[in-house]
Amino acid sequence: MDRIEHHASFGGTQSVYQHASQVLGCDMKVAVFVPDHEEGARLPVLYWLSGLTCTEQNFITKAGAQRYAAEHGVILVAPDTSPRGEGVADDEAYDLGQGAGFYLNATQKPWAQHFQMEDYITKELPALIEATFPASDKRSIMGHSMGGHGALTLALRHPGFYLAVSAFSPIVAPTQVPWGEKAFSAYLGDDREAWKAHDATALLASAEERLPILIDQGDADDFLAGQLKPEIFEAEAKRVGHPLTLRMQEGHDHSYYFIASFIGDHIAHHAKALKA
């Protein structure tokens, strides 16, 4: 991994690295915060997945998460949201292609060649992080919007891999909203039944473990009614008995002002599970 950015932060280091991804077939950037720690210590790792149009930069510059990660002794890893570069398929729209990987493995052309984000997040990247940094194999995952969708679905699809999961303003039912329908049609094809394997609401009934889920959602979010629909997820979690804390936050929108307001709660939620 080539370090291309490095900053002291809250006693630790916030860096950005670039590496060649064999899974995605392109160079990828990933941000890593390592808190101050004793020599020889192995620290748990919290993965952050960002939303549509974002890169690794949005979270590390806007969320204010380093302070809380330092307090709890947790490594923060924030990858880019998709493969990028010359030769990587793209679309003119903001919600498809580069910047919009949806954290799944695409099966359709031209996307399948590079858009294997599920394998990157759950296989290649953790192996790289645990081989390069003072990281243990204790992992948890959280995200925002499209990244909230990714955090929930990857945790549900890979039981035992993560010890905690949470999300801000997640796309909880992508098979029932325009963002998901557009992306899944392109990446997965026209079989809507196949889409359900990447829909957090649809996955709840067959979940093999019951990780408590924490979701924060702003009630002033412009995307709340049309794209996010947390009430669908809440109803299904209640029906199947999956533990869920859904907090509707008055006056908050879809922005990083919202994330920064509650990121401390989320990191504490993860730290409790990671250090149990």
CA distances (Å), origin 64, targets 202, 243, 257: 33, 28, 10
Strand pairing partners for 225?
none
- Tell me the per-residue pLDDT of 161-182, one tens digit each, with 9 for 90 and over: 999 999 999 999 999 999 999 9
Q: Residue 211 has what pLDDT?
A: 95
pLDDT band at 144 (very low <50, low <70, confident <90, very high): very high
Q: Coil, helix or strand for 14?
A: strand
Number of domains the chain is built from: 1
What mean pLDDT do residues 140-165 have? Answer: 98
Q: Catalytic amino acids?
A: 145, 221, 254
Handedness of CA 164, 168, 174, 176 (dihedral sign): positive
CATH number for the domain including 8? 3.40.50.1820
Q: Report the first-to-last Cα separation within the chain, whole angstroms.
A: 31
Q: Is 174 exposed, middle or buried (0-12, 13-18, 19+ CB in 10 A)?
A: buried
pTM of the model: 0.97
What is the pLDDT, as a whole number, of residue 2? 97
pLDDT recorded at residue 169: 98
- Average pLDDT rounded to a whole number, residues 197-226: 97
Which residue segment(s) compose the domain that 8 sits in?
Answer: 2-275
| Mean predicted confidence (pLDDT) in 48-74 | 98
